[in-house]
Structure 1
Amino acid sequence: MRINRSERVNIMKDDGSFNTGARVVEIKDDEIVLEIDGSAKGIDVSDRINIATGDATYKAVVRGREKNRLVVEVIAEDRRAFFRIDDSLPVKARKADRISASRFLSLIPERGDFRLPIDADSRDDALMALLQEVNQKLDYLINQLILKDEGIRIDECKEVNLSATGMRFEIEEDVRIGDIVEVKMMLPSSPPVAIQTYGEVVRVKKTEREGKPLYEVGLKFTEMTEEVREEIIQYTLKRQREIIRRKRQQL
């Protein structure tokens, strides 16, 4: 769990009947004390809430309430979803007026309909190797065409902080908390995988670079399919292992 003391968060009930900002006052193991902006009316002990930090969303249960303070317990879930990495990825983002389910943009090899058939019982090793090489090149060419059509340029990358629950990056478009942002990005897996997903803006910080305004946004992914979510989890775990291995080699 990566929630820091004094950090600003957004809390909401599962049914959407309560949504407000809060400040983290104290953290002890999996219990967090939150100071709510305004009144805690509408939140009761045993209610389930979501705590959004800008990079991730945690599910919690209210264990105590006093005036505008809540004591909540974070629910243990699939911790893989909360692994976060700093990376540089080809990303195209824009404000959207609607939400759709996330989807793959690039061809997933094991699901591809364009690959040449390979006979697993073939004893011709040279032919097998040639067919596999041709299929890899077909995957690459088809994916490049798809990425071009979707407006994703592999030579234009953004610095991102990514997990399977959300991401943080800079965008030139003026966005506000609650806005929906469409994100298209390529994960440099093996082979590379491009996805389209949507996120709700839960944090915005206005910055400036070379005299131009920029907006550092924290998104909470919405309507994410399990397939896309698992792809992001596997990529973040792989990248995290690579980072740890590199640090060990530098010691």
Structure 2
Amino acid sequence: MLSPGTQIELALRTVQGLELWCSATVDKVSESVVLVRLNTQIAMDYGNISSSEDYPVTVNVIDGEVLVTQEGRIAGKLRDEVYGIRLVGEATRHEYTSIEDRIKVHYKPLSEQEYYATRPEMRSYRTPQPNMPKYLDANDDIPQSLMKFIGDINYKLDRILNLLESHSSEKLVIKDFFHTSRVGGGFLIGEKGEVGSAYLLQIKIPIYPYHEFYAIGKGVPFSGGATGILFTYISEDDREELIKYVFERQREILKSKRKQ
């Protein structure tokens, strides 16, 4: 997987918990240590390392259509922007089943600088979700179908208010009908995309309770010659909501086919 010239994403962390993401290129690979050259300067200096256990790192590499993640430790600094990384444990391959479906997604292309500045913020960022009034949420006497109807109205009112409040702010570029190709893992887009480009994605699941979230990803070549966006970060809770939606849609499609 890792070989000289491989482009990787690297998360550098200190004992204080500061996390910085940057791009790097693999210079050399041995059995236990990978030498990498940072492609951008960072506000950290590992020149005087006392113990490699104090400096954990995360290595991400896109292998075809799969995101591969592995943990490591800084093993030493050789010269400016060149570090040795001791990989630990087994690599995790984020592979996903391919199911075709359609969902409207908003996305915004990011520069490399914007992408790596946004990357550490994604872990703590959560989109406020519309809340059902407590007197309704706790009422067992209200039928579920009526609750869903009330939830639909609540969601649409929130959308209208958000549009009125944000009419003067910068908006994400709206791209309709991304084609879900990797369940929970990414999208095959319906237009020509750029391999290697970075994207911020805003995803609103269009069924009650209308879960909304952000993710980031990169353009990759998918099978069949198409270009897709592979998630490089999506929270596990958001991934589960997206997977539940896709499989719920598949059940609806199967039901409709049986009735025909």
Q: Can you list the C-alpha shifts for 1:48-95, whole angstroms capped at 9, x where unaligned?
A: 9966333x43679xxxxxxxxxxxxx98988xx713322222122332
Q: Does 1:140 find its partner at 2:160?
A: no
**Structure 2 residue aligned with 1:232:** 242
Q: Can you list the C-alpha shifts for 1:119-176, whole angstroms capped at 9, x where unaligned?
A: 77769x57x998886554223210344478455769x43444242122211346x62x
Higher relative contact order (Cα pairs below 8 Å, separated by 6+ residues): 1
Q: Once the two structures are aligned, what percentage of the paired residues are identical?
A: 18
**Structure 1 residue aligned with 2:200:** 182
Query: Which consecutive unaligned segments of at least 5 residues does structure 1 have?
Result: 1-10, 21-40, 61-73, 208-215
Distance 1:202 1:194 in 2: 24
CA contact (8 A) 1:165 1:221 kept: yes
Q: Secondary structure at the match of 2:158?
A: helix
Matches within 5 A, 1:1-251: 11-12=1-2, 19=6, 42=29, 52-54=63-65, 56-57=66-67, 82-97=96-111, 98-99=114-115, 100=118, 101=122, 105=127, 108-109=129-130, 112=131, 115-118=132-135, 125=141, 134=150, 136-146=152-162, 149=166, 150-151=171-172, 156-171=176-191, 175=194, 177-203=195-221, 216-247=226-257, 249=258
Deviation at 1:199, TM superposition (A): 0.4
CA contact (8 A) 1:166 1:221 kept: yes
What is the TM-score with the length of structure 1 in the denominator? 0.51
Distance 1:238 1:201 in 2: 27
CA contact (8 A) 1:87 1:162 kept: no
Q: CA RMSD in A?
A: 4.7
Distance 2:206 2:236 in 1: 19
Distance 2:138 2:174 in 1: 39
CA contact (8 A) 2:103 2:179 kept: yes
Deviation at 1:195, TM superposition (A): 2.6
CA change 1:162–1:144 in 2 (3 A) is farther
CA contact (8 A) 1:91 1:152 kept: no
CA contact (8 A) 2:60 2:67 kept: no
**Structure 2 residue aligned with 1:34:** none
Q: Secondary structure at the match of 1:234?
A: helix
Count of residues in correspondence between the two structures: 184
CA change 1:94–1:130 in 2 (3 A) is closer
Distance 1:132 1:226 in 2: 25
CA change 1:75–1:203 in 2 (3 A) is same
Deviation at 1:221, TM superposition (A): 0.9
Query: Which consecutive unaligned segments of at least 5 residues does structure 2 have?
Result: 8-27, 35-58, 71-89
What is the TM-score with the length of structure 2 in the denominator? 0.50
CA contact (8 A) 1:201 1:219 kept: yes
